[in-house]
Amino acid sequence: MEFGSDEGDYATPQNIEYKAMGWLDELEAYCLAKKRFEPRVKDMALLVIDAQDFFVNPDSHAYVLASRGIMPNIKRLIDKFRELGQPVIFTRHAYLDDEDPGIMNLWWGDSIRDSDPLSQVSQELAPRPDETVIRKTRYSAFIGTGLEAMLRERGIDTILITGVVTHLCCESTAREAFMKDLEVYMAIDGTASYSEELHMSSLRTLANGFAIPMTTQEMMVRLTDNNGGIE
């Protein structure tokens, strides 16, 4: 499978809601722990993983076709978290011009440089000046970034993950967050991969042992009802 192949065109703004309901039905069979968790907005931050033009701009060779289906959902969640006064944290994967990407460059034969305009977070989501944008150099948003300390300082012990790519940076971040005793939720229609197979294989594993799968609409309802559990 190559970047931008037809296999990746599995989620669009027109079909994402229908797709998400089918995904959720399948994933809930894997997630036996879901009934024991209830998202509480006062403890939660929204992570927007690598929604940068390198991955979400059609002009990029690494464009994730399915990102066009999830961007409106990510925007809805960003707006809701802002409304509730909860942190929205963006990541962008990029290397300084004199920085060695190491094995990542060997693996992909490519790297995103900080000086490349495509390394910036998409203006479709437009981070606010007071919102944190973390530059990272590994799949996990926790490696070498200070993200955990940032969350702890704000009293955050729960994260909702959105962005790209589901089976790489989103999954790696979710797994490490769980290992740090954070409560993790995955927006299944707010994340995307290069194929539906990769997207769902990642979500199945995460749902079984690391993260609670939820649709954007399901999370919006939880956050709206009683302000997501604010006391």
Q: What average pLDDT does the segment 10-28 reach?
A: 96
> What pLDDT, in 10s, does the model give residues 174-212?
999 999 999 999 999 999 999 999 999 999 999 999 999
Mean of the per-residue pLDDT values of the chain: 94
pLDDT-above-90 percentage for the chain: 90
| Mean pLDDT of the region 28-54 | 94
pTM: 0.94
| Structural domains in the chain, sorted by start | 6-223 (3.40.50.850)
Asked if residues 112 and 118 have their Cβ atoms less than 8 Å apart, the reply is yes
Q: What is the pLDDT of residues 55-74, one digit of tens each?
A: 999 999 999 999 999 999 99
